[in-house]
Each structure stands twice: as structure tokens, then as C-alpha cells.
Chains A and B, each alone.
Chain A
């Protein structure tokens, strides 16, 4: 249950500034001002920023390559290995830093692709509301919604030999778009029936202008919320898959670290750092996504601003 994805209330009056160029005389706050004004969302944005920096600068920051396993096994934390080493001789800190790349990549692209599919299906379905096209797409959406996702992903992944990060992203994408598609469909239907859409048609605007200049600006907050929701899900799913040993074998991710920790007896040997750190960085990343979504909720639902 990701926050806010279902809030299609349509109170978009405060969305000023998303569409037209910034006007010095306009009095409404810009969307980034609204998000920034919420302490929760600000914290989320800063954390996310740090994660992105770490991922980008991994080659500079990380003491070693993440995939190196030629150190002495089970070293205690020391200046050379700040968080110690694993049973198979990997540097935990380096794995952690390099692992951020996988999680962020999966989050970014998994979120992006799932949002795009959701947008496409939701838009077409909503725009052709009541036709057979809509009936078909809605049925597809409902099926995708009730089918248990992780078992399906696992089965799909079990059939393939290739274990690349892109295949993970692909599988997560095609199994996780449905909820957002349904939310977007109903949003499109509300927006399409707004009088200003009819008015734009009467003002001589074409279908593309109407979709991109009249309808889309009012949907930005929903799309953004959908993106962060999908990204959260994708990061979690990647970790889960890697934990089952279905992750990319050529790179290190936090899920893989936990998989190795679990299978190589970290619990029995009391190696709590190995067990603890990958989970906590994962939890903090997911927290950051959730916090940013609080801010996006404020955009689409001005009532919440009272209460923040």
C-alpha cells in the first residue's frame, strides 16, 4: 500500500507553476517550494541526493572493487576494511557502496518503465472509456492486479539463464504496473470530463495539445507519486530476488549480500555487521522514497498541508 497513489481527488488547484513558464507576478508557490516546505519531504530529498552521489562516485569512494573476493576471510573491522570482510573474502564496505548502484538503477528504471506502462495503459483505457479497448485493458489490469507478483517473477526468472540487472528490471516492470494504471485511468476519466478540456477543443486545440498541455500538467503529482511508489516496490523486489539467489551474478547488490550472509552462516557465526548494514541502507533508501512521496501527496491534496 504505497502512500498517495490512490489519491485521485483532483484537487489540483494549487498546482500552479507546473505548466507555464515562471511568472514573476504569480502568487502561488511552485511545486518544488511546496515539497521543500515539508520537513519530511526535504529530509527524503536530501537522503536520496546522498545515495545518488554515493552511487555516482562509487569508483572514487569505495576502497576496493565490489566484486573482489581475494581478501582474508572474516576480518574484524580495521582501517583497511572499515566494516570487515565476508566469509568468502569480500570487503563489506566496498560491496555496500557498489551495491547502491544496483538498487538505484533498479529503482530508477523499474519505476520509470512501470510508470510508463501504467501511463500508457491508463491513458488509452481512460480515454476510450466504455469501449471494448477499455474493457480489454481493464480486464488485463485487474488480472495483473490479483495475480501474486513475486511467485510470478520467481517463475519467470527461474526459466532464464541470463541473470542481468536489466532482466531483473524487465521482470519487475511487467509485473508491477497494474495498480498505478488503474489509478491513472480513473484520473484521466475525471480530467477528460472537465469542462476545460471541452473548452480547449472549442478553442481549436488538437488532441495532442489537449493531452500534453491541458491534461498532463494536472497529472504530474499522480505520475510522480506513481513513480516513487513503483521505485520503492522495484528496490524491494530486487532485494528479495537477490536474497533468493536470483540476482545478477556479475555485480554485488544489497540483496546478494544478505543472500550470502544467510547462506554462508553469518547468523550462526554472529557476524552482525554483515547482516545489519545491507538491510539498514536498504531501509533508509525506502524511507527516503516514502518521505519524498509525503511531499508529493501535499501537491495533489492541499488538505494535507493543513495537517502536515
Chain B
């Protein structure tokens, strides 16, 4: 097929006034053929969104396209003036942005935003435009009454469907999807992605799908570009990337994505962090984190060269393709997180640590002058066993955060009993007063979702860790310092002296989350409530935090309540799974059991929403397009 979009040696440079200039996209070349569905995977800071902006010619100062060409149908977009470019916009090239919240003008009716886009680029006017908008709404399955609505009157999922319909308004030939479903509930996410794939097949436009979510990219795309530190490091068909990734970084990314149905969970992670692009780079940018690195890797940067029907930028992979060479491992040869079914079976016999019986929490909300009672949690019952990990799975609004507040004693239940079996006998959490609560909190600590907001930016790590040690153990002076050092060692922030006086903003996301865990450990708790502890971290390091949490359970006998919206990550670490829907517990059971034999319809819906490239890859012959999963 003919190339529709051809990117040649594209470099995007940022030149902020007060910082060093840096190339966020460096010498990138690839093509997308007519009707092709290409995925672009990369972590935050890899340059994938910068690349997307550049393709749309939306790069703004201090950034600029410093070199290279973007050929659309043979015409160089980078050389055009804005007026020359305008006819291409939205007629040939359309997009759906990352945050659906603000992509629509909040003070203009949805219909008028379609009208804009259609009248600018087609001869349709008046009633014909309205007809076209109806058609488009049918396409994305939204009722016509929302055509005259304002954006804030639509739900998040609806808004993103509207954005999709808007992108397709003028039958574009190329659509750029930049993380189109980030932040949406998994079930909604699934239905939008299904719509994308179906419409793409029907209408035959080309797609570049940018995402950090390995599973969906693998499942939807025919071909995948892997980006690292501003460069494309591997280009491969989806099926082959899954079966035999060539670049060690791709292997790392694949390894961080687990198969939920396997007996034993194995997840790898990539230690370290991406290079600072403002500094001079020599050698392969991935070399410092690469378990396969050889001498030449630190000396010269590998180029993206063909290898079979793929392209890869890796000295080791190319060397291995020589006849008779030693084959590098298929999997990422770095550190690994392992959870066996055996552990889960053992955990089943442990004592109960915390018990919830018919717990409800109602809120009275003032609406004008009347009070309305809403139930955030309704008669929830389940148990947490000592030294086990229990996952609480639910979508936003399911009541999982309310349950976390009830269990940590931040709020009391409206009815029902929460019983904590401490060493000194059972405690009724709901009825505790200030002093008891303080003693209780020492035994129940929290790890938060966002390590950027859970550490005070104005405090050093030493201060942050000293608080619980002072308050709960009365430590002072040398004893305090020794304990702080031990904590940092425990979460592997070594050498300790380098971290003690650091401020949180000087650490990476993963390191911050380690500090948060260390602070929780400082109180010497029995139970740790971990609220989405990995969902804001980069994919390649998530297993690192899972491994750390898992170590606390295995070595110190800490009990963990793992709260998440993501059934897949729940399966990876948990022994037990509790599924919540609209404040009610709909299913509980051993993690593997719940995955393999779900009892409740809602659990099944969540399961179907998990992209499963392993299954699709097994079902299709290599180097062929992938079939979409049936709509959930």
C-alpha cells in the first residue's frame, strides 16, 4: 500500500529561555500507509505527544520543528505556511486529544462546534450540516438530543465519543489519537476503543494511536512504534512484538504486562530512569538501564536499522542476527516480581485481621434547601487476613475510597461494624475516640495514589520520615537518625546519605512512592491501605513498587488492602479480590478464582474490558491484522 504519511528525520527542539535546550523528538523516521493502524508506545517524557503535536503542526514555543520533513501524500507539511496547510486540516488530518475535558469549547453548543469544522472544509450548509451531525452521532451511538447540549452536560465517556465523531466529520484520511481514553473508566474505555477500531475498518482512515497502555495498543494496532528518550527504538508488527520483541526496552515493556489467567504471575521491571535529554548523550540512551548492554552500547548510539521485517535500534539485537551468534533472551533479563498461587493458598488459612460486617456509609448532601441521602457504601461485608493482600476493585464512584476512609478511621460508618483484631484483642473501629484513634492509626497506615501530592514539597525526606518515628516511637537524636536510615535502606533508597536531605521534587515518581511506603512503614503498622499505588507511575517501573509491597507481606507479615480500578493489577499482587459496584460488594474470592471463574456479570464486564493481546496474538497468524474483541 502507498505511504500516506511519511516522516523523515524529524527533530523537535525545545528552547526555554532559562534552561538548556533539548531535543524532545530526535531524528525520527517512519511511514503510515493508507488505511494503516499504527500504535506509538512510550512512557511519560519519551516524546510521543511532542511527536503527535508536530505531526499536526501544533508545536508551540518554546518548541519548534528543528529538522526533518513530514510528507502527507507527498507534500511536506513542515514547509507550508499556515494558509497552505489549512485545507489539509480536519479534511485530511483530524485528531482526538488526550484530555477530553477541555477539547470542546465550554461555552459553545456541541452542534456549533461540529458546524465550525464541517462548514470550514465542505460545501455542506444549514440543514445538510445538521443531517451530517445526526449521522455522526448515530455513528458513535449518542442520542440526538445531546446535539444541542453544552459540553458540560455530557459525561466523560460521551464527550470523548463526541470528540471522535467530530474528528470523523469530514471523512479524514488520517486520524491522530493521543491517549484518547486516559482517565476514563475501563468499561467506557473499552467501548470507545471498540468504536474506533470498527469505524476505522468501515471507513478506511489511517490511524496513529499514541498511548502508554501496552495492552490496548497491542490489541488494536497492526504495527507498533516503540519510543524511548525521543527516538524510535523498535518498529514491529503487533503480533511479532508480543512474541519476540527485539529491543531490550520493548522486552521490558512487554514484561511489565502480565497474563491475568496464568497460575504464577511474573512481571519484570526496568530499574533506573530515562536520561535527561538536556544533557549530552553518548552511546545508547537505554544502555544504563539495559541488562543486555555490551561494550559498544556505551560508546556509540545504535541506529534504527531493518532486521527482518522489523526495524530496531540496538547493537545487541543486530549482532544476534549474524549467523551463529548467541541469542539474547526473549524476556527482559532484569529484576522480576513473582507471585505464586501457592502463596495465595497459604494465605487463605491466616487469622482474620480486619472484619467488615454489613457496613454502610450514607452522606447527607444539601441540595438547595432539602437534604438528600446518598449511600456511598451499602452493607459491605468482607475480611482481611493477616499477611495477605486483598484487592478492592471498583470504578470511580463505586465506594472504594469511602471504604478506605472507614477502615483508616478517618470517617465512621453509618451502620454496621468494623472490627480490628489487634494483639490486645478486638477493637471496634467505628466507635473509637480521638486517643484510641491515634493508637489505631499507628497500626493502620496508607500509601496514596499520587506520590506528587502525598509528599509535602517543602519538607526534606529526613523530616517526612521523622514524624511518625517521633510521634509513635518517641525516638530522638541518634536513635531517630538510625531509624530513618534503616527505613531508607529498606525501600532501597541507597546510599542513604544521598537522600536524607533531598526534597521530594528532586526524586523520580518511583522514588517518591518508595518514600511514601517508607513513611507508612515507620509507624510499624499491621495493615497498609494502598490506594491505587501504581496507577500514576510509568508502566516500566510499576512492578518495582508491587515487588516492594509484596516484600513487606512476605518478610514482615504486613497485611495489605490494595485499592484499584484495574482488575489486572489486582490479580497480579492480590490473594483475595473484592469487587465493588455502586457501593455494594458484588463478588469476593481468591484472586485466580475470580479471574478464571467470575460469578457476577459485572466482574465479567470488567474482565472483558481488560485488553488481552496474549489471547488475540495466539488466535491470529503472525504479521496479520488483529481482530477486535467483541464489544463489552
User: What residues of chain A have their CB less than 8 Å away from a CB belonging to chain B?
Assistant: 12-20, 23-28, 194-196, 198-205, 214, 217-218, 305-308
Contact = CB atoms under 8 A, between A and B. Distances in A.
A203 B519 contact: yes
Contacts of B523: 202-204
Nearest to B466: A203
10 contacts: A19-B456, A23-B501, A24-B501, A28-B503, A194-B453, A196-B453, A198-B410, A199-B448, A202-B408, A203-B519
Contact of B458 (A12, A201, A305, A308): A12
Given A13-B505, A16-B503, A28-B503, A202 B454 contact: no
B107 interface: no
A123 to B, nearest CB: 18
A15 B457 CA distance: 7
Contact of A202 (B16, B62, B446, B453): B446
B322 interface: no
Interface in B97-132: none
Contacts of B444: 202
B321 to A, nearest CB: 44
A41 B581 CA distance: 55
B582 to A, nearest CB: 24
Interface string B531-557: 000000000000000000000000000
B460 A202 contact: no
Contacts of A307: 17
A199 B18 CA distance: 35
Contact of A199 (B17, B446, B457): B446
Contact of B16 (A12, A13, A306): A306
Nearest to A195: B454
Contacts of A195: 448-450, 453-454
Pairs A-B, 8 closest by C-beta atoms = A204-B471, A195-B454, A203-B468, A217-B458, A19-B458, A23-B501, A195-B448, A203-B467
Interface in B501-528: 501-503, 505-506, 516, 519-520, 522-523
Interface of B: 16-19, 62, 408, 410, 438, 441-442, 444-446, 448-450, 453-460, 463, 467-468, 470-472, 501-503, 505-506, 516, 519-520, 522-523
Given A202-B441, A306-B16, A218 B456 contact: yes
A204 B438 contact: yes
B57 to A, nearest CB: 23
A17 B458 CA distance: 7
Given A14-B505, A214-B456, A204 B441 contact: yes
A207 to B, nearest CB: 11
B66 to A, nearest CB: 19
B503 A26 contact: yes
Contacts of A202: 408, 441, 444-446, 468, 520, 523
B454 A16 contact: no
B450 A204 contact: no
A196 B455 contact: yes
A26 B441 contact: no
A200 B520 CA distance: 10
User: Main SS of the interface on chain A?
Assistant: loop
Nearest to B441: A202
Contact of A23 (B453, B456, B460): B460
Contacts of B446: 198-199, 202
A148 to B, nearest CB: 30
A16 B456 contact: no
Given A15-B457, A16-B457, A204-B523, 8 more contacts: A13-B505, A19-B458, A20-B460, A23-B460, A196-B454, A204-B438, A204-B470, A217-B459
A13 B449 CA distance: 18
A305 B19 CA distance: 10
B442 A204 contact: yes
Contacts of A13: 457, 505
Given A28-B506, A204-B441, A199 B501 contact: no
Contacts of B448: 195, 198-199
Contacts of B519: 199, 203
B18 A18 contact: no
A37 to B, nearest CB: 10
A27 B472 CA distance: 31
Contacts of A24: 501
Contacts of B18: 305-306, 308
Nearest to B410: A198
Given A25-B501, A203-B522, A204-B471, A12 B457 contact: yes
Nearest to A216: B458
Contacts of B62: 306
A16 B17 CA distance: 22
A200 B460 contact: no
Nearest to B503: A16
A203 B519 CA distance: 8
B197 to A, nearest CB: 37
B593 to A, nearest CB: 33
Given A13-B505, A26-B501, A200 B467 contact: yes
A216 B464 CA distance: 16
Given A16-B505, A20-B463, A196 B468 contact: no
A25 B498 CA distance: 9
B341 to A, nearest CB: 33
Contacts of B410: 198, 201
A20 B441 contact: no
B226 to A, nearest CB: 30
A199 B531 CA distance: 12
